[in-house]
């Protein structure tokens, strides 16, 4: 298994509180991604990073921010959590050669976040 | 909006039978990938098929790709109880960069002994 650790694995919090999820990798991969998974929607991309301090928005970025100060860590922050952000959050990593997009992503085991 | 749509949404079969699931997508792709997700776990990459390939095998898995129909199929032969999982297709679109993928909603497969 790829060395990807997500923390915490489970969290319950209240509406309006800030929440930070952490993704840590030991593979030295350049690309990192945050997804959320909801029933009937598959995985939807929230934010991604293509290098240290290089991040961009995905499909469902409203209400989320990210930071990547080191290759190995990618943080996802909910500044003021809402009930609609209750979901399972997955981090993924990838290493893409400059001449090919044909590489898989490797996933962590997710964080189950409940916002009451 | 989802690029990939899987069909069926759910599939129930007995051990030893074959399982087939399909994926349709909307725009041109670099490649199409299939992933498996066991309950409570992250996604695991199964197989990647490039846009210029038509068929690919990996163990008991067979993937086909028809770019003219914008569709792919995943066949699991001689299924086992351990194949019980959700299966997702994901596409790397030619309009996307940085290795981004678009995932479908998945097919839930249950294999009974």
Q: Is the predicted pLDDT of residue B4 greater than 80, yes or no? A: no
CATH fold of B5-112, please? Immunoglobulin-like (2.60.40)
A38 near B CB under 8 A: no
Q: Which of B36, B40, B98 to mutate to test the interface with A (most CBs of A within 10 A)?
A: B98
Structural domain contains residue A78: yes
Note whether B45 contacts A110, CB cutoff 8 Å: no
A41 confidence band (pLDDT: 50, 70, 90): confident
CA distance linking residue B65 with residue B49, whole number of Å: 7
Number of domains in chain A: 1
CA distance linking residue B50 with residue B44, whole number of Å: 18
Q: What is the CATH number of the domain that holds A56?
A: 2.60.40.10
A89 near B CB under 8 A: no
CA distance linking residue B88 with residue A100, whole number of Å: 22
Domain chopping of chain B, boundaries:
5-112
The percentage of residues in chain B with a pLDDT greater than 90, rounded to a whole number, is 85
Identify whether the C-beta of residue B30 lies closer than 8 Å to the C-beta of residue B41: no
Structural domain contains residue A22: yes
A22 near B CB under 8 A: no
Structural domain contains residue A111: yes
C-alpha distance from residue A57 to each of A63, B11, B19 (Å)? 11, 34, 36
Structural domain contains residue A100: no
Q: Is the predicted pLDDT of residue B106 greater than 60, yes or no? A: yes
**Structural domain span for residue A77:** 4-93+105-115
Interface of B with A (CB under 8 A): 2, 4, 30-31, 33, 35, 40-45, 48, 50, 88, 90, 92, 98-101, 103-106
Beta pairing, strands B71-76 & B55-58:
unpaired
A111 near B CB under 8 A: no
Structural domain contains residue A98: no
CA distance linking residue B41 with residue A46, whole number of Å: 19
Give the total residue count for chain B.
113
CA distance linking residue B41 with residue B38, whole number of Å: 5
DSSP A11-57: EEE-TT--EEEEEEESS--SEEEEEEEETTTEEEEEEEEEETTEEEE
Q: What is the token pair recorded at A42? A: 């598959």
> What confidence score (pLDDT) does residue A40 get?
78
The pLDDT tens digits of the residues spanning B50-92 come to 999 999 999 999 999 999 999 999 999 999 999 999 999 999 8
């Amino acid at each position: 298994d790829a060395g990807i650790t997500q923390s915490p694995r489970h969290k319950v919090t209240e509406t309006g509180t800030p929440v930070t999820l952490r993704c840590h990798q030991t593979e030295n991969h350049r690309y990192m991604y945050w997804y959320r998974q909801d029933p009937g929607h598959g995985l939807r991309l929230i934010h991604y990073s293509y290098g240290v301090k290089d991040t961009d928005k995905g499909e469902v970025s409203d209400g989320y921010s990210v930071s990547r100060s080191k290759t190995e860590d990618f943080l996802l922050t909910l500044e003021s959590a809402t009930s609609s952000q209750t979901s399972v959050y997955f981090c993924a990593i990838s290493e893409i050669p400059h001449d090919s997009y044909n590489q898989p992503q490797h996933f962590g085991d997710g964080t189950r976040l409940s916002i009451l | 909006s989802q690029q990939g749509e899987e069909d069926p949404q759910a599939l129930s079969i007995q051990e030893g039978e074959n399982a087939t699931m399909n994926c349709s997508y909307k725009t041109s792709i670099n490649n199409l990938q299939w992933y498996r997700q066991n309950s409570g776990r992250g996604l695991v990459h199964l197989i990647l098929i490039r846009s210029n390939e038509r068929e690919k095998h990996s163990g008991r898995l067979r993937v086909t790709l028809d770019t003219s129909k914008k569709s792919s199929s995943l066949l699991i032969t001689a299924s086992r109880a351990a194949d019980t999982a959700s299966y997702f297709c994901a596409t790397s679109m030619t309009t996307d960069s940085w290795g981004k993928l678009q995932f479908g909603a998945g097919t839930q497969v249950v294999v009974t002994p």
